[in-house]
């Protein structure tokens, strides 16, 4: 058996972050009829941050939050924990979709991450934040040229970035594949333990702010109730509220507009056992001041980082998948091919660890992808129901801002951010099946082909760029 399969043999199929010792006592399902001012549907970052920001703005708001399984079971408890300033999957994507608003969106992203970290401090939430900056590495000559240009542009714009060539990058983290790296060391980009963040927010909301949380409670339908409020039917009861905020990410929604704005894409990850000091030395990673959080400069990028106890979490690459008809069933977690591919690629990056490092966890989660590769907020029924979703794989910090947009659309201290095209411009809806599956499959294949071809985009990707559907990282 090859070393990468051997290394996977004892990996358990569960998110690393769902540590049984951290799991709070589940909250019982909603029973019967309830009333509140604001109903929040979805117990991930978006729903949790929405509840907190409403309470901070209007403390006497009576809030119910419902979650179909448990808080942090969605993408928020399964991600890589990369906390990025960007609200838009990078500046290039922002400029592409919202010309003229790049600087403002960037400024809002900086303010958002600052406020997020201030909340962790103020409410004493231990999300194991580490300020690592963001290191992007180049694996081929074309990527070196591209990344160098980007790095120089960022330097010229006054950003705190450091360039590493082939020799110096390996002093930061040593992989034979790395040819260069650009490290954004300024700002507050870093990593967190995402499930700890969910659990911390859940506890805060219930204990300090009196938010009523019902787990194992699935929303079936939400409709306007006369001219005033909303009636939301759940599997085990009905909630009457003035307002509803949908923080349901990639899950099927009874609201058609919401459903067509995103597609669920599965992303898979592995975590190693904790590395010994000797193993860390072999890959030159983990010294104080250079515990980098990395990704490689290409379309189908990998993302990898160290945890507090020096495991490596490893995800992304070409293992991401859209399943026909938007499959979200947990059976898609059972994806041996994906895990094997990830494990093989891991040892290509770090051959020094072959035969000595094993994986402890393997898991998948659902990314809500929009056609503009960033969040899609919206509002219906005269401001009674709003939503924010579709962070397209970059939502750990952006979800807090998505939550802010959502609550402002519902009338909780609206500000000038609602005038941005970023908020008001409708996203292009995904086409129905089978065109959806065919389009995504073709695009993914073409993105991989471009990666293998020095980033050069073929006719299909150029066509998408032309009609405003191109992914520009």
What secondary structure letter does DSSP report for 29? P
Identify the bridge partners of residue 380 per DSSP, sorted by sequence position: 385
Does 45 contact ligand FAD by CB under 6 A?
A: yes
Apex CA 206: angle with CA 205 and CA 210, to 5°? Answer: 90
Does 200 contact ligand FAD by CB under 6 A?
A: no
CB of 459 to ligand FAD, least distance (A): 30
Contact by Cβ (8 Å): 320, 267: yes
Contacts 24+ apart (CB under 8 A), 46-49: 46/76, 46/247, 46/249, 46/388, 46/389, 46/395, 46/399, 46/402, 46/403, 46/406, 47/245, 47/247, 47/403, 48/76, 48/198, 48/201, 48/202, 48/205, 48/403, 49/201, 49/399, 49/400, 49/403, 49/404
Burial of 248 (0-12, 13-18, 19+ CB in 10 A): buried
Does 80 contact ligand FAD by CB under 6 A?
A: yes
Q: Of the two residues 173 and 375, which places its CB atom closer to ligand FAD in the complex?
A: 375
* Distance set, CA 211 to CA 182, 208, 219, 412 (Å): 43, 8, 18, 17
CB of 52 to ligand FAD, least distance (A): 13
Interface region with ligand FAD, contact rule CB under 6 A, candidates 38-46, 173-181, 434-442, 458-466: 38-46
Does 249 contact ligand FAD by CB under 6 A?
A: yes
Among 8, 34, 36, 44, binds ligand FAD (CB under 6 A): 44
Does 396 contact ligand FAD by CB under 6 A?
A: yes
CB of 162 to ligand FAD, least distance (A): 22
Does 151 contact ligand FAD by CB under 6 A?
A: no
Interface region with ligand FAD, contact rule CB under 6 A, candidates 73-81, 100-108, 120-128, 352-360: 73-81
Does 439 contact ligand FAD by CB under 6 A?
A: no
**100 vs 81: CA distance, rounded Å:** 30
| DSSP SS3 for 253 | coil
Among 399, 400, 407, 422, binds ligand FAD (CB under 6 A): 399
Does 296 contact ligand FAD by CB under 6 A?
A: no
Q: Of the two residues 128 and 279, which places its CB atom closer to ligand FAD in the complex?
A: 128
**303 vs 470: CA distance, rounded Å:** 21
Among 269, 279, 295, 443, binds ligand FAD (CB under 6 A): 269
**310 vs 313: CA distance, rounded Å:** 9
Q: Of the two residues 44 and 229, which places its CB atom closer to ligand FAD in the complex?
A: 44
Tell me whether strands 262-272 and 359-370 are parallel, antiparallel or unpaired: antiparallel
Among 63, 306, 367, 409, binds ligand FAD (CB under 6 A): 367
Among 27, 36, 47, 379, binds ligand FAD (CB under 6 A): 47
Q: Of the two residues 109 and 140, which places its CB atom closer to ligand FAD in the complex?
A: 109
Does 248 contact ligand FAD by CB under 6 A?
A: yes
Does 68 contact ligand FAD by CB under 6 A?
A: yes
Query: H-type helices in 69-126, by residue range?
Result: 91-97, 102-122
Contact by Cβ (8 Å): 385, 243: yes
* Among 91, 190, 182, CA closest to 133: 190
Residue with CB nearest ligand FAD?
395
* Among 217, 239, 230, 212, CA closest to 63: 212
CB of 259 to ligand FAD, least distance (A): 11
Does 81 contact ligand FAD by CB under 6 A?
A: yes
Residues that bind ligand FAD (CB under 6 A): 41-47, 66-69, 73-76, 78-82, 84, 218-219, 247-249, 251, 267, 269, 303, 315, 365-367, 389, 391, 393-396, 399
């Amino acid at each position: 058996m090859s070393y990468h399969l051997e290394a996977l043999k004892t990996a358990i199929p569960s998110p690393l972050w769902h540590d049984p010792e951290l799991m709070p006592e589940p909250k019982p399902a909603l029973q019967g009829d309830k009333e509140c001012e604001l109903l929040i549907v979805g117990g991930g970052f978006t729903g949790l941050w929405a509840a907190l920001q409403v309470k901070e703005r209007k403390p006497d708001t009576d809030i119910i939050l419902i979650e179909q399984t448990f808080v942090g079971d969605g993408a928020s408890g399964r991600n890589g924990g990369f906390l990025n300033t960007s609200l838009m999957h990078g500046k290039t994507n922002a400029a592409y979709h919202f010309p003229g608003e790049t600087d403002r969106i960037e400024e809002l992203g900086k303010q958002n991450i600052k406020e997020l970290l201030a909340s962790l401090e103020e409410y004493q939430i231990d999300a194991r934040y580490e300020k690592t900056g963001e290191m992007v590495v180049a694996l081929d000559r074309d990527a070196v040229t591209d990344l160098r240009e980007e790095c120089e542009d960022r330097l010229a714009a006054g950003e705190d970035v450091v360039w590493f060539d082939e020799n110096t990058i390996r002093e930061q983290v040593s992989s034979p594949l790395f040819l260069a790296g650009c490290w954004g060391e300024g700002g507050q980009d870093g990593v967190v333990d995402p499930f700890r963040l969910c659990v911390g927010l859940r506890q805060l909301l219930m204990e300090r702010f009196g938010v009523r949380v019902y787990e194992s409670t699935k929303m079936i339908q939400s409709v306007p109730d006369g001219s005033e409020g909303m009636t939301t039917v759940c599997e085990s009861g009905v909630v009457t509220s003035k307002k509803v905020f949908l923080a349901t990410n990639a899950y099927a929604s009874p609201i058609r507009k919401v459903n067509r704005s995103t597609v669920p894409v599965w992303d898979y990850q592995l975590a190693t056992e904790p590395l010994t000091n000797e193993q860390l030395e072999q890959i030159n990673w983990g010294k104080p001041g250079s515990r980098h959080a990395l990704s490689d400069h290409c379309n189908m990028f990998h993302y990898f980082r160290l945890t507090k106890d020096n495991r490596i979490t490893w995800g992304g690459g070409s293992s991401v998948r859209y399943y026909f008809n938007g499959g979200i069933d947990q059976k898609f977690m059972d994806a041996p091919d994906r895990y094997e591919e990830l494990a093989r690629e891991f040892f290509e990056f770090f051959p020094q660890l072959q035969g000595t490092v094993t994986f402890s966890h393997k898991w998948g989660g659902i990314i809500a992808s929009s056609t503009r590769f960033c969040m899609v907020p919206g509002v219906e029924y005269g401001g009674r129901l709003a939503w924010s979703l579709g962070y397209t794989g970059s939502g750990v910090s952006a979800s807090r801002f998505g939550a802010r947009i959502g609550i402002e659309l519902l009338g909780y201290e609206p500000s000038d951010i609602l005038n941005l095209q970023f908020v008001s411009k409708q996203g292009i809806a995904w086409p129905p099946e089978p065109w959806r599956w065919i389009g995504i499959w073709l695009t993914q294949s073409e993105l991989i082909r471009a990666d293998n071809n020095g980033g050069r985009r073929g006719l299909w990707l150029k066509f998408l760029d032309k009609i405003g559907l191109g992914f520009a990282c």
